[in-house]
Structure formats: C-alpha cells, structure tokens
Chain A
Amino acid sequence: EIVLTQSPGTLSLSPGERATLSCRASQSVSSFYLAWYQQKPGQAPRLLIYGASSRATGIPDRFSGSGSGTDFTLTISRLEPEDFAVYYCQQYGNSPLITFGQGTRLDIK
C-alpha cells in the first residue's frame, strides 16, 4: 500500500517569504497522477496543481509544482495572506488506488 508523507507537518512563515512543501511517496507515482490541494477552515479542498506541475484554472503563478518518481514539491514563491492554509498532495493509481498525504499546515509567523 502506497503512503504519501508530507513534510514539514507545520511550516511557519511570513507574508512575502517562499514556502517549499514536500510530498514523498513510498513507491513511485506517475507524474500524471500527482495533485496538490489547498484547504482553508470550513471549506472544501481546492485543486491547485495536477500532473505534478500544471496549475489549475485561476491559480496564481506564485504556485508551482515539481518532482517525479517518489519526490514532489509544491512551492509558493511569495506568500500572500490568503495562502495560509493546509496543503495536501494526492496520488492516483497505486493501491489503494487513491491516497492523500497527511497535510502540511502553513501558518503565519
């Protein structure tokens, strides 16, 4: 069974800083099948990145995704106040078919 491990668990940064979030898979994941989501309190997750590096419609270009195989990264180049939220990676294809990472909480420092 594939496990996605996100690090760090919590990241405390200030607006304007750069955020780097990691998602490591216990076995290889196709880049086509790796996505990132943002979730704010009381809201549904919102798609940010799919195919490891393609931005979803309406997502600002300060969000970027990269990686392949077992190591993937979400980068937010310059944090805006609205970016402080929880971020999840998600894979499709490996048993149990679809899994999410445990999340990284991005807090205002």
Chain B
Amino acid sequence: QVQLRESGPGLVLPSQTLSLTCTVSGGSISSGGYFWSWIRQHPGKGLEWIGYIYYSGSASYNPSLKSRLTISVDTSKNQFSLKLTSVTAADTAVYFCAAGGIRGLMFRFDPWGQGTLVTVSS
C-alpha cells in the first residue's frame, strides 16, 4: 500500500524559502488517479489545503498561497516537493503530504504522511 513521508528543514529564516519533499513508497507516483497534495496545520488550528500536483506536472494551488508557491514532481525519484517563498511566522505549521484524488467517482485524501513541523524564526 502507498505510504508517504515528508522531509526537509524544521527551521526556516523569515523571508527565506521553505522547501519540503514527500517520498512515496509502496506504489508509483506515476499511477493515475492521485493528486499528490500538501496540507498544513497551524499550531492548535485546523487544516489548510496548500495545493496538489498530478504526475504529469499539472498543479492546482490554493489562491491564498499561489503567488508564493511552487509544487513540483520528480517521477524518477517517486517524490513531489513544495517550495514556499518569502515565509513569515504565519507559515509556521505542521506540513502534511497526502494522496488525494477521485477514485470510484469520490474524492478523498488517503493516505497521509506523518507530518513535519516547520518553524519560521530567526
């Protein structure tokens, strides 16, 4: 079964770029039907969808983050990545990667990675 794991720095300086990678195991990132997704959760708060990418490279972003956001995919490494520029303390959150998608006509996120805390601070 598909499993996901996030990796990347836990601390980012303000105004710098936050970069995370999600490694997919147990299946090919190139298999159809999955929207490889990023979701974040501010401390003690709810869930916020960041964006997703299809294996072809086609991506959709949350409009609130779109101007700072790039999501890319590397099928040779079975990975997809997130880059968020010009970060501030408001970007401090737990970042999850997840396999979203419409399967059997119905959309859901399943499975999820364990999440990684990224703190923006000097």
Number of A interface residues in the complex (CB < 8 A): 26
Distance of A33 Cα from B107 Cα, bound (Å): 5
| Cβ A32 vs Cβ B106 within 8 A | yes
Closest to A52 in B: B106
| Interface residue A45 (Cβ < 8 Å from any Cβ of B) | yes
Q: Which of A92-109 contact B (CB under 8 A)?
A: 92-93, 95-103
Q: How far is the CA of A97 from the CA of B102 in the complex (A)?
A: 13
Are A45 and B60 in contact (CB-based, < 8 A)? Answer: no
Task: Look across to chain A and name the residue whose beta carbon is closest to the beta carbon of B62.
Answer: A96
Given known pairs A45-B112, A101-B46, the reply for A96 and B64 (CB within 8 Å) is: yes
Q: Are B107 and A35 in contact (CB under 8 A)?
A: yes
Say yes or no: A56 contacts B46, CB within 8 Å: no
- Which of chain B's residues have a CB closer than 8 A to the CB of A98? 49, 52, 62, 100
Other-chain contact of B46, A35, A50, A92, A100 (Cβ < 8 Å): A100
Question: Please, how many angstroms separate the alpha-carbon atoms of A100 and B115 in the complex?
Answer: 17
Asked if B74 is an interface residue, CB under 8 A from chain A, the answer is no
Q: Are A50 and B107 in contact (CB under 8 A)?
A: yes
Contact B106 A90 (CB under 8 A): no
Known: A50-B106, A50-B107. 13 other contacts (CB 8 A): A32-B102, A35-B108, A44-B115, A45-B47, A45-B109, A46-B112, A47-B110, A47-B111, A51-B106, A95-B63, A96-B62, A96-B64, A98-B49
User: 19 A–B contact pairs at CB < 8 A?
Assistant: A32-B106, A32-B107, A35-B107, A35-B109, A43-B114, A45-B112, A47-B110, A47-B111, A51-B104, A51-B108, A54-B106, A56-B110, A96-B49, A96-B63, A97-B60, A98-B49, A98-B62, A100-B49, A102-B46
